[in-house]
Amino acid sequence: MSSTVLVSIISGLEGRVGSNPKIITIYPDNLDATEEFILERSLPHGALPDQFFEDKLDSRKILVYTFEIQKDGRNDLASIGLVLDKDVIIANLQPIIKRLVKRLNSENLLTLEIFQESLPKIIDGLNKESKIKIGSMIFDVKSILNEENLELKEKSRKARGMF
């Protein structure tokens, strides 16, 4: 089975004075494009917290989710951008991403540093539809998919044809 998430990007625009939008991390580091091109897509102009954006990169889909990170002064704006296999059902992936961010926030784990550190685990969990463990938090992708009766990918034509 091919991966769901091919490349993932965390971007941020910090609330502090003198900040600028920037890419925090890319995993795995293999997107063949300029930094500017990636930033424009992973943190689109006009973005506000808690929005989804969809785009295309060749035959692959891009899904971006924006969120805010609590800070003492002004909050940061951040985003997770996912370059996806073309068979991924974006509408089904959206609630998973949103729930993950919400959960990290409620466990006080929503920081750019933790995201940077844990991105491989998050992507691995999404790809294998398994448990994502960050600190003391366990986010079980499979059980959420089951609970909500969702599939992350279209069944291939061939597989469907067998029934």
Q: Which residues bind other proteins (CB under 8 A)?
A: 13-21, 43-49, 68, 74-77
DSSP notation for 11-67: EEE-SSTT---EEEEEESS---S-HHHHHHHHS-TT--SS-EEEEEETTEEEEEEEE
Q: Closer to other proteins by CB, 20 or 59: give it.
A: 20
In whole angstroms, what is the distance from residue 70 CA to residue 68 CA?
A: 6
Shortest Cβ 18–ligand GTP spacing (Å): 10
3-class DSSP state of 128: helix
Find the distance separating the first CA and the last CA of the chain, reported in whole Å: 19
Shortest Cβ 16–other proteins spacing (Å): 8
Q: Closer to other proteins by CB, 66 or 118: give it.
A: 66
Do 110 and 99 contact (CB within 8 A), yes or no? no
**Residue from 20, 30, 46, 73 that binds ligand GTP (CB under 6 A)?**
73
State the binding partner of 43 from ligand GTP, other proteins, none, CB within 5 to 8 A by kind: other proteins
Shortest Cβ 44–other proteins spacing (Å): 7
> Please, which residues bridge with residue 64 across strands?
53, 81
State the binding partner of 13 from other proteins, ligand GTP, none, CB within 5 to 8 A by kind: other proteins
Shortest Cβ 47–other proteins spacing (Å): 5
In whole angstroms, what is the distance from residue 138 CA to residue 147 CA?
A: 16
Interacting residues toward ligand GTP by CB under 6 A: 73-74
